[in-house]
Structure 1
Amino acid sequence: MKKRYIIFRLLPALFFLFACQNNSLAQSVRPDKNKGNNSGIVIKKVERISRVTGTPMEGETLFSPNDTPRMFDVGGTDLGIIWEMEKGKYGIFFGDTYGSDFKPNPQAPGPNGGNWRCNVLAFSDDQNLEDGMTINGMAVNDTGKAREIVYGAKDMSGEGDWTSIPTAAIRANGADYVHYFNMKKWHGWITNYSGIYKSTDNGQTWAKCENIYFGSDSNFGQAGYFKKDGYVYMIGTETGRKSSPRVARFREADIEDQTKYEYWNKDAKKWIEGDETKATNLFDDAVGELSIVFHNKYKRWIMTYLCEERYEMNLRDADEITGEWSEPKLLATGKEYSLLYGPYIHPLSLDGDNLYFHMSLWFPYSVFMMKAELANEENPD
């Protein structure tokens, strides 16, 4: 008999907040709060353009190019962290994943069903996201089902290893890396540690990097990666959705040498090597899941994230990764997209006016492709 699991990842107070919202599958939202912020980017419009995972709901009219339940036994899943592996080939890490017997349940949103894997990995070489992102394959087992990449023991006692959740991924020094946290207990968002796994064969096999360890109270328990000017930049927060972001950097070749990581201290106005406690806040906000990129057209850093306290997804931008960062700009709200979280930017977004990103919804526990139309504040039309 298959084991069945139901996990309520959200804290009770947050779940109550989500449960009070409208569960409608709104197709788009036009942000009203995006004018007059102190930076160069304006968000003109945001819309949901496709489903990425799972089976369409009754009455849903979105593009749905991937039959993940049938093809890979991926019924319910979330996150969808995207990075470029080889040129034009993208990896996508999903979080806790359940099989084709998964059924969205509005009375008990979130995961259910059998074949629980703590995370799975998909691949895509789709270059046109206007009709959604086609998944070309996944890392699978010998039966063709998506397999778990980063080990999690699935001990739901709250005293052991519950699950391992990806937070960021990057191609560095010719290899692929995924940053993750190992969860002890969801209530209170208590982790055991955070670390990274490595692949040297384009994502087919992975191994833990034993030299990298972030403690349960680390400011880099969750992360976002981006490469620029010879460095990998890593935005970090404490695990959860309550802390402000900080930034570290390191040379690609040093990704597995934590002693070489440098942390930005705004008070000293310099990078400090080897001591993550010296990292200072880039700005003050409650930051959850995040994504960081440098936009080639606008010549600005862009950070997207969930703000649980405001129940919305935000975008901030800056000339330099060390700041000053803009005020938050609205990408999507829980009023339009109930039980939303994410967001994760697709690397194809970096040269034009359309910012594509993945958004998760706790109900129906699926991932969706979103598109934000950007403009320069000085010439928004």
Structure 2
Amino acid sequence: MRKSYVFALALRAAVYAGPAEAVAPTNVTKVSRVTGATPAGESLPNPNQTHTNYEVMGTDLGIMWDKGGGEIFILFGDTFGNGWCGNGGCGGGWRSNVLARSSDRTLTDGLSFSTMIQDSSRHAKELLYSKKINFDEITVIPTAGVTVGSRHYIHYMSVNNWGDPGKWYTNYAGIAYSDDNGQNWIKHPSARWQNTSTWTNNFQVGAFVKNGGFVYMYATPNGRFGNVYLARVPENALLNINDYRYWDGNGWSSSQAVAVPVTMGGAGELSVAYNTYFGRFLMTYLNENRQAVVMRDAPTPAGPWSGEKVLASGTQHPGLYNAFIHPWATSGTDLYFVMSQWTPYNTFLMRATLTSDTFGDNLLSEPGFETQAATAVMAPWYVQGSGGIDRNLGTARTGQDAGYVRASSGWNALRQSVAVQPYTDYTLRGWVRTSANNTAGYFGARGVNNGPIVGETPFGASTGYTQLTVSFNSGPHSVLEVYSGMWADNGDTWVQLDDVSLTRGTNVGRVHPGDGPVQLRREPQRRAVRGTLGYQRHLDAGGRFQPDPELRGRPTR
């Protein structure tokens, strides 16, 4: 084994630190109003009365972190005072960002401020200046905060313009700092991640968490529809852009270009914290496609991150977004977070109870199809061909719902993309039920965009639910697509899928001789017409790759 492989194995072993107990949120309730005036008919506590005390009538976000000295900071976005339109972010008294302090440790009755940073009596101060010129710099929005020693840091984004709902375009992301307890802030001139001309830089909206002498920065592209990426920097080097190292799937690189996702798709307004009670990192954000605030959890900063678990839905809380975790609610089963609602464009303290996750360390979202609503965009499962969700038809394996595909021709499948660690073993399990005429069903995992199949099992007719299991090595992939589907060759054919799981093995980042995994697949793109053959290869006794003869004749998809 070459020295480079020895080093790679040592690095990957250091990243993996054994599983901790996976968790799920339950009993989510709204505790109190944090900002704004109490409208007629609302019975929530409103301890801060920000509309009269600080001329904060409408605002959003509510990013929280421990600032030291027995207080936390609470950071808000676009804020409106006298002249606020009363519905969303608009009107007079506009400040791009404002900041509160709190020493309140009794959250059961609400979140009380000690004060807000002010520029005049009863008027919350704008911390970070913005030009307020559309298609130049319309605003400067904070996305995260952290304190190291006596210096406080804000991660922010310079917004060029607002687009369609959930979409916006940033000039750059940057870091500002304060050395006077948050009264004044300086935007550092070089601690910035410049966006590209096509708005595709992956480090524009951030979240911070401190761990082991590092500050970990989770980030997405501008807007709410990107994947989550990860970087880290020594605590004392936050302003040194060249000291950041980016997660490349198996280790840390100085090149931002090699960063790969740690979670897939649809993440807006991130928050990350470490829960000492469960020994899990928690990640919360809005998934716009699911119209829900969701949570993931993981044993290490790099993952593996669980699938999404719904914290709050837009059905119950119309116009909801973000879920910023309270830093003093991370040592027990109660999770407190601040959530925004577009109407009435204000913030609320929420509470959830964390319990053991019955699905365990499952990396897939919506494994039982139980909470995916009939939204305009189907997520996190997507249909290729014809299919959807059977809701409350009495045909699910567990719960009320199951996924399905049904067609009379062609390839039809349910698919979900998931971030994985390269050269690592995984096990995929799921339960399928089919029409009596199904003869060409397939369950497995492959590279995205019709990439190579890394593991698969065929299945035929099964009038009752049958469990399928596929074990595979991820090979060079950092993202894979799991799927279950069928070729409809015999007229009207259907497949139902339920209770799907993907779990990681213990051989994290295993590299095989020859710079590749033991199993490779050479396979063309999926075709509408069957007949093109793909062959799996294996190592023979002499270490040479050979085709598996038993796979000849199997169609590609």
TM-score range, shorter chain: 0.7 to 0.9
Code of the residue aligned with 1:261 in structure 2: it is Y
Query: Secondary structure, in 3 states, of the residue corresponding to 1:289?
Result: strand
Match of 1:73 in 2: 55
Match of 1:127 in 2: 105
Gaps of 5+ in 1: 1-37
Match of 1:355 in 2: 335
Residues 5-154 of structure 1 mapped to structure 2, 5 A cutoff: 40-102=22-84, 104-105=86-87, 110-154=88-132
Match of 1:191 in 2: 170
Matched, 1:257 2:235: no
Match of 1:169 in 2: 145
Question: TM-score, normalising length from structure 2?
Answer: 0.58
Q: 2:358 & 2:225 partners in 1: Cα distance? A: 33
Q: Which of 251, 256, 271 lines up with 1:291 in the alignment?
A: 271
Q: Post-superposition shift, 1:173? A: 4.1
Worse-matched range after superposition: 300-309 or 135-144:
135-144
Match of 2:530 in 1: none
Q: 2:201 & 2:69 partners in 1: Cα distance? A: 33
Q: Post-superposition shift, 1:100? A: 3.9
Q: Post-superposition shift, 1:88? A: 2.2
Matched, 1:243 2:226: yes
C-alpha spacing 1:330/1:205, structure 2 compared with 1 (3 Å): same
Match of 2:253 in 1: 272
Q: Greater share of strand residues, 1 or 2?
A: 2
Q: Which of 300, 311, 315 lines up with 2:280 in the alignment?
A: 300
Q: Post-superposition shift, 1:181? A: 0.5
Q: Does the CA-based 8 Å contact 1:120-1:149 persist in structure 2?
A: yes
C-alpha spacing 1:173/1:219, structure 2 compared with 1 (3 Å): farther
Q: Post-superposition shift, 1:346? A: 0.5
C-alpha spacing 1:379/1:285, structure 2 compared with 1 (3 Å): closer
Q: Does the CA-based 8 Å contact 1:172-1:255 persist in structure 2?
A: no
Query: Secondary structure, in 3 states, of the residue corresponding to 2:57?
Result: coil
Q: Does the CA-based 8 Å contact 2:80-2:94 persist in structure 1?
A: yes
Query: What per-residue deviation string (whole Å, max 9, x for no partner) do you get for residues 303-355 of structure 1?
Result: 00100011101100011121111111010111000000011000011101110
Matched, 1:208 2:191: no
C-alpha spacing 1:241/1:379, structure 2 compared with 1 (3 Å): closer
Q: Does the CA-based 8 Å contact 1:126-1:133 persist in structure 2?
A: yes
Worse-matched range after superposition: 223-232 or 94-103:
94-103
Matched, 1:368 2:348: yes
Matched, 1:180 2:166: no
Code of the residue aligned with 2:183 in structure 1: it is Q
Provide runs of 4+ in structure 1 moved above 4 Å.
none
Q: Post-superposition shift, 1:138? A: 0.9
Q: 1:103 & 1:183 partners in 2: Cα distance? A: 21
Q: 1:338 & 1:294 partners in 2: Cα distance? A: 29
Gaps of 5+ in 2: 1-19, 361-557
Q: 2:188 & 2:314 partners in 1: Cα distance? A: 37
Q: 2:358 & 2:296 partners in 1: Cα distance? A: 17
Query: Secondary structure, in 3 states, of the residue corresponding to 1:277?
Result: helix
Q: 1:144 & 1:67 partners in 2: Cα distance? A: 11
Code of the residue aligned with 2:137 in structure 1: it is D
Q: Does the CA-based 8 Å contact 1:83-1:92 persist in structure 2?
A: yes
Q: 1:363 & 1:103 partners in 2: Cα distance? A: 11
Q: Does the CA-based 8 Å contact 1:39-1:326 persist in structure 2?
A: no
RMSD over aligned Cα atoms = 1.7
Q: 1:378 & 1:296 partners in 2: Cα distance? A: 20
Please tell me whether Structure 1 or Structure 2 has the larger radius of gyration of its CA atoms.
2
Q: Post-superposition shift, 1:89? A: 0.4
| Structure with more contact order per residue of length (Cα contacts < 8 Å, sep ≥ 6) | 1
Q: Does the CA-based 8 Å contact 2:85-2:92 persist in structure 1?
A: no
Q: Does the CA-based 8 Å contact 2:52-2:122 persist in structure 1?
A: no
Matched, 1:155 2:155: no
Query: What per-residue deviation string (whole Å, max 9, x for no partner) do you get for residues 20-58 of structure 1?
Result: xxxxxxxxxxxxxxxxxx961022210100000000121
Q: Post-superposition shift, 1:379? A: 12
Code of the residue aligned with 2:252 in structure 1: it is W
Q: Does the CA-based 8 Å contact 1:232-1:252 persist in structure 2?
A: yes
Q: Post-superposition shift, 1:284? A: 1.4
